[in-house]
Copies of this chain bind each other. A is one copy, B any other.
């Protein structure tokens, strides 16, 4: 129940274990076309879509280095650790970076974003959709509309949301968007889906990123014109092809509803047991739930008990939330009723040992599943 890597459907593992073909084999080129089509469906976009040969962080890096130059003005919305990582990479590029942030557990206030854009006139506004470090789901509509109004290029990190929460790229008007394979997409880690608009493509043409491996002009040349750039992770592409099929077969709307329902049941169960959620109710992400731990329970101890006695893997706090919280993922195959009830039962058992058990969370959750 980690917020990534999530559980993987056995069919995806089977697809991954198929014999390799060359990265210039006609069947592999056909696979690239299929993957592009699948990504267009999942990102809900007509823009170009590709898979990068790296993890979500490589998607973040590619989304910045290919569109920004030193001294470019960048406004970064920071609501947790991964927003801060965007800031840091933009600073490494040498950009002039300004941050707009929100208090712990809250989303960005659109008014703050508008004020910052007016005063700073950035080339690009970047933010994280589902902030894995806090469980906050950033509402995008208002801030994307503000960016549109001021003609600011937009970049959204959907590493933890794509495939589990609605990300309608074209209707929101997102210019650059990336994700990671191992969360709500339900595939093994190692691949970063990316998509960018014609407006972003025009910027792409005008600059040479310092990084060669993640040069999107060259990677696009491979995807569209079959010009060799590097050998992609063929097996992981097979896995994604099957994993994306499963998403499309389930249907995006059904899938979002499944994640919503499962996440809500978990959250209501945890609250019934006395846990306080890190994220505000109105911006709580269904796929990542972060809770403050009671003073009696040390986070590392909790993780150890859950793993060793119950076989449940969870995540803890990072950066300023280190030592204070626990994080649970209900993503892709991990978003199943049995997982929620098993986790809640295990937590009840542990609360009893610490003599801080109040009320059953499984009762609340099971009535909602």
A16 contact set on B, CB distance < 8 A: 16-17, 235
A209 contact set on B, CB distance < 8 A: 92
SS of A interface (majority): loop
A56 and B180 alpha carbons, distance in the complex (Å): 20
Q: How far in angstroms is the closest Cβ of chain B from A183? A: 9
Among the 9-residue stretches A5-13, A34-42, A247-255, A263-271, the one with 4 or more Cβ atoms under 8 Å from chain B is A5-13
CB pair B56–A313 under 8 Å, yes or no, is no
Interface size grouping (class) on chain A = 35 or more
A297 contact set on B, CB distance < 8 A: none
A313 contact set on B, CB distance < 8 A: 21-22, 25
A179 and B189 alpha carbons, distance in the complex (Å): 21
- Fill in one digit per residue for A143-185: 1 if any B CB lies within 8 Å of its CB, else 0: 0000000000000000000000000000000000000101000
Known contacts: A8-B20, A58-B213, A230-B57. The answer to whether A235 contacts B190 by CB under 8 A is yes
Is the CB of A224 closer than 8 A to any CB of chain B? no
A315 and B231 alpha carbons, distance in the complex (Å): 13
25 contacts across the A-B interface (CB closer than 8 A): A5-B22, A5-B23, A5-B234, A16-B16, A16-B17, A16-B235, A17-B17, A20-B182, A20-B189, A26-B307, A53-B54, A53-B58, A56-B230, A57-B212, A57-B230, A61-B212, A65-B211, A92-B209, A93-B210, A94-B210, A182-B231, A190-B232, A211-B211, A233-B236, A235-B236
